[in-house]
Amino acid sequence: MDVDRLRQDAAAVLADGRARMVIGFRDRAGDRVPAFITDAEQAGELLYDEACRQNLAAYLKKAELKRFRPVAIVARPAVMRSLVLLAAEAQVADEDVLVLGVSDDQEYHGILDLAATAALLNEKYAEMPHDPDLVKRIEEISAMTPEERSGFWTEQFARCTRCYACRAACPMCYCTQCIVEKNVPQWISTAAAGHGNYAWNIIRAFHLAGRCTECGACEAACPQGIPLMLLNVVLARDVEEEFGVKVGYDAEAEPVIGSWREDDNEDFIR
């Protein structure tokens, strides 16, 4: 990828005031970690390669970063979708964000506003294929009986330590107080065991139905290796099939959760 151009653009938006901060990646002892650049002279620290997988849009929900808006964010297509969806959910405004767009195969798209980002997504990334191994595993689980699937997920969720790293990594988890932290009333057990684990993971998945941009940050952040994308992708498919919606492609779209149409499919109601 043309990292020099990325650095030049980052320096330019900082120097002319279009952004007060650039959020990208830098090297730390061989790892790719977030970089928060506020001075154009620091832009030379930025890099981008296939190891830069974190969804940097998650930082927009941090209260301490709001004073640095507008910000420019280095974003691959799934992260671009997150930014467009945040705009659709009124969490960011057009003037809050610039996108330094990169592709999964290391193509650099330059400086984009949210409208140009949505246009690019629809033009080049309307279809984003999933990993074949993930698709194969989904097919295997879908072929199970309900009892077998329940057993599979019970086993997976038993490993959960309720660290909420998945929640922290997801830009769409921006509630000021999560349901798992409410204790009056307490809807879900806070213990890292049994029913509480199952309830938390299912609630997390359904909260993201029609909102997940399939960036994979939640699964990558999970220290227990729970295959969260198996749930996320299935729900994304169901939303597309039932409602004809692929999220993160239109900043003006009404969210699937929280909106209603007279012609919505109601076949699931019994």
End-to-end CA distance of the chain: 53
Q: Is pLDDT above 70 for 270? A: no
Please write the tens of the pLDDT for every residue from 54-92: 999 999 988 889 889 999 999 999 999 999 999 999 999
Q: What is the pLDDT of residues 157-204, one digit of tens each?
A: 999 999 999 999 999 999 888 888 877 777 787 777 788 899 999 999
Query: What band does 245 get if pLDDT is binned at 50, 70 and 90?
Result: confident
Structure token pair of residue 247: 């999220």
Residues 117-132 pLDDT 10s: 999 999 999 998 888 9
Mean pLDDT for the chain overall: 92
Q: At what angle do helices 146-157 and 194-207 cross, to 10 degrees?
A: 100
In angstroms, the CA 176 to CA 126 distance is 32
| Rounded Cα gap, residues 197 and 3, in angstroms | 42
Percent of the chain scoring above 90 in pLDDT: 74
> Which amino acid would we find at residue 158?
A
The 10s digit of each residue's pLDDT in 88-119 is 999 999 999 999 999 998 899 999 999 999 99
CA distances from residue 114 to 15, 94, 117, 158, 165 in whole angstroms, order as listed: 21, 6, 5, 40, 28
The pLDDT tens digits for 198-214 are 999 999 998 999 999 99
